Chains A and B, each alone.
Chain A
Amino acid sequence: METNNFIKDDFLSDLIKKSSPDSPSAIFVERVMEDVQKATEYSSSKKTIYLYLWSALPVILIITIILLFLLTSDLPLSTYFPGKDYYTQTLEIYLHSLSNSFNLLFVSRYFSFGFTVMLATGTLIIIENIWGQKIKEFFLSRGL
């Protein structure tokens, strides 16, 4: 490391060390530790919720796949599935018309543009929610 003799000054250094220290209030450490404790509790409770959701996700996915299979399958066995008649008579027609009207919406360039903007915004919000903390930590690790 380069020496900085033109600013190195032991006399001044000693003198400045004699200046009155700037100290925060007596309960400063206590208050910081209270905040730290709260942050720890919040982060662990958040982790528990995420853990619960993550563990429930495969179950939800499997149930959804089975339901879709039973509702759309032509297998004779699936006709005994409760709600299959309702799906073929009402829900399938409704979903079909919904998808048609959705396609029609994209004929308008204004809608397409607005939808693209909304989709981009939504994606950014999701990215921020998922990686926001990591991005924040990245900048903080550099003291920014």
Chain B
Amino acid sequence: MKYQDDNFYIERVLSGDVSAFAALVTKHKNLVFSVVLKILNDREDAEEVAQDCFLKAYQSLKSFERKSKFSTWLYRIAYNAAISKTRKKKLEFVPMDKYLIQNYSEENTPRTIIGLEEHEQTLLIDKALQRLSGGENLLITLFYKSENTIEEISYITGLSVSNVKVRLHRIRKKLYEEISEIMQQKVI
């Protein structure tokens, strides 16, 4: 299904067409759910929090100033709601092994993956992502999958811009290392 720009639906909702909000929910449900799931690691809780997040967004739509993208604003609501649910102040990141960072084989990894079938690549990346912590997984998803900018990720997570850059740099290395390890073990 091809969607219109978010502002089109927002205007319709604000002018009284409640049903237009369904299009916004359908368009963003997967990524909002994904953000929450990565933090909570429980599908049932994640669904409940994601549902509340959309309701909050609907109730505050009038006050959405459009300084950021609607999706970025929505992810920030989702992130904060999920963090509140875990009753932690910040997202936890597993410290990385220095040896692991210095000795990964990033250059060789892409060449090896290209030779795999598409479903094998999906299996491989799913397995590698599972090995990352919730926080690492979330940053990777926001940057590489939903294509948010560093500044947007900083706004969503409350981490500083430089902190996001450093973390992404390390997580990217770690992910390549995990991919290499999985391929060496031939677990896919």
Binding site for B on A (CB under 8 A): 1-2, 4, 6-7, 9, 11-13, 15-25, 28-29, 31-33, 35-37, 39-40, 136-138, 140-141, 143-144
Contacts and interface: CB of A to CB of B under 8 A. Distances in A.
A78 B129 CA distance: 86
Interface stretch (B1-9, B46-54, B89-97): B46-54
Given A140-B56, A144-B80, A32 B25 contact: yes
A33 B25 contact: yes
Interface residues of B, number: 58
Interface of B: 18-19, 21-22, 25-26, 29-30, 33-34, 37-38, 46-47, 50-51, 54-60, 62-65, 68, 72-73, 76-77, 80, 110, 113, 118, 121-122, 125-126, 129, 140-141, 143-145, 147, 149-151, 155-156, 165, 168-169, 172, 175-176
A44 to B, nearest CB: 11
B113 to A, nearest CB: 7
A35 B52 CA distance: 9
Contacts of A40: 18
A142 to B, nearest CB: 8
A103 B41 CA distance: 61
